[in-house]
Structure 1
Amino acid sequence: MGQRTQAAVGCLSTLAGLGAGIAVWNVRADGRIHRFEQGPDWRVFAVDLPLCLAGGTLAGALAGVLLTRLLTARHADPPGRG
């Protein structure tokens, strides 16, 4: 696997993780931003959003590393018999 392919896999998996973090935050924040007869809960933006984005990005980056390692180990030449 070439370096460009490895870089592309890493970038795409990190972006997928970032998207997953946004999706998780959106599901968790539903109904918490504007509660009934209360003011907005700003912790949703100040704490939950950065944590979900960082966690999703980290998970995507780790998935990219694992995927790259699996693909390079799979295509490695078997050791010669000697």
Structure 2
Amino acid sequence: MGQRTQAAAGCLTALAGLGAGIAVWAVRAQGRVNRFEQGPEWRVFFVELPLCLVGGVGAGALAGALVHRLFTARRGGPPGP
């Protein structure tokens, strides 16, 4: 696998993780943003959203690194430059 392909795969896995983080946040925050007769809960936006986004990107990057490690181990040789 070439370096450009590896870079593109890494970017795509991080982007997929970002999408997963947004999806998890949207499901968890569905009823908590505006509660009945209360103002918006800003903690949902300023704390939980960034944590879900960073966690999703981190999980995507970790998954990409694991897949890369598995494919290079199957090839049998040391990773190329």
Gap regions ≥5 residues in structure 1: 78-82
TM-score (ref. length: structure 2): 0.89
- Residue 73 of structure 1 aligns with which residue? 73
Q: How does 1:1-82 map to 2 (within 5 A)?
A: 1-77=1-77
| Higher RCO (CA < 8 A, seq sep 6+) | 1
- The CA distance in 1 between the partners of 2:34 and 2:40, in whole Å, is 5
Percent identity between matched residues is 74
C-alpha distance after superposition, 1:17-65 (max 9, x if no partner): 0000000000011010000111110000000000000000000001111
**Which letter does structure 2 place at the counterpart of 1:25?**
W
**Which letter does structure 2 place at the counterpart of 1:36?**
F
Asked if structure 2 preserves the Cα contact closer than 8 Å seen for 1:9 and 1:64, the reply is: yes
Q: Which runs of 4+ in 1 moved over 2 A?
A: none
CA RMSD of aligned residues (A): 1.0
Gap regions ≥5 residues in structure 2: none
The secondary structure found in structure 2 opposite 1:61 is: helix
> Which protein shows a greater Rg?
1
Length, aligned pairs only: 77
- Residue 80 of structure 1 aligns with which residue? none
The secondary structure found in structure 1 opposite 2:15 is: helix
